[in-house]
Structure 1
Amino acid sequence: MKLKEKTEYLWEKYNFTPKKELGQNFLIDPCIVDRIIEISKLTKADTVVEVGAGTGVLTERLAKSAGKVIGVEIDEKLCQILKEELADYDNLKIICEDIEQFCFQKRFTQSQSVKIVGNLPYQIASSFLLNLAQKEWIKFMVVMVQREVAEKLLARPGEKKRGTLTVLMNYYTIINRVINAPPQVFIPAPKVRSSLIRIDRKENR
Structure 2
Amino acid sequence: MKKQNKRNRKIRKYIEWPNFSGQHLLHNKRIINDLIQIANLTSNDTVLDLGAGKGALTFPVAEKAGKVIAVEYDPRFVEILKKKAEAYPNIKVIQQDILKLHLPKEPFIVVAGIPYAITTPIMKMLLHQPANSLQRAVLVMEKGAAKRFTSYPITNPLILKWRMWFDLGYVREISRENFSPPPKVDSAILIIRRKKKLSIPYKYHDSFLGLAEYALKYPQLPLYEALKGVFTPPQITRLVRNLGVNRNIAICLLNEIQWGIVFHTMVQYVQRPYWPKAKKHKNN
TM-score by length of 2: 0.62
Give the C-alpha shift of residue 127 in structure 1: 2.7
Partners of 1:67 and 1:81 lie apart in 2 by 21
Matched, 1:17 2:15: yes
SS of residue matched to 1:20? coil
Counterpart residue identity of residue 74, structure 2: D
Gapped regions of structure 2 (runs ≥ 5): 203-284
The corresponding residue for 1:164 is 157
Is the Cα–Cα contact under 8 Å of residues 155 and 166 in structure 1 kept in the other structure? no
- Cα distance in structure 2, aligned partners of 1:75 and 1:136: 27
Q: Deviations along 1:98-121, whole A, 9 cap, x unmatched? A: 1101111xxx32xx2100111222
Q: Which residue of 2 aligns with 1:142?
A: 138
Structure-2 separation of matches of 1:10 and 1:94: 22
Q: Would you say the 8 A contact 1:68–1:92 is kept in 2?
A: yes
Larger radius of gyration: 2
Q: 1:187 to 1:75 in 2, by over 3 A?
A: same
Structure 1 gaps, min length 5: none
Q: How many residues align?
A: 193
**Per-residue CA distance 1:73-129 (angstroms, 9 max, x = gap):** 01011000001123100000000001101111xxx32xx210011122233222321
Aligned twin of 2:169 = 176
| Percent identity for Structure 1 against Structure 2 | 29
- Map 1:13-92; keep pairs closer than 5 Å: 15-17=13-15, 19-92=18-91
**Which structure shows the higher strand fraction?**
1
The one of 147, 153, 165 aligned to 1:151 = 147
How far apart are the structure 2 equivalents of 1:6 and 1:51? 26
Matched, 1:101 2:97: no
Contact kept, 8 Å, 1:130 with 1:168, in 2: the verdict is: no
- Larger relative contact order (C-alpha < 8 A, sep ≥ 6)? 1
1:24–1:127 distance in 2 versus 1, CA, 3 Å: closer
CA RMSD of aligned residues (A): 2.4
Aligned 8 A contact 1:16 1:77 in 2: yes
Question: 1:30 offset after TM fit, Å?
Answer: 1.4
Runs ≥4 residues deviating over 6 A: 4-10
| Cα deviation, residue 168, structure 1 | 1.5
State the distance in 2 between where 1:47 and 1:5 align: 35
- Answer whether contact 1:28 1:187 (CA < 8 A) is retained: yes
| TM-score, reference length from structure 1 | 0.85
Q: Aligned partners of 1:192, 1:150: CA distance in 2, in Å?
A: 12
**Structure 1 164/38 Cα, relative in aligned 2: closer, same or farther at 3 Å?**
same
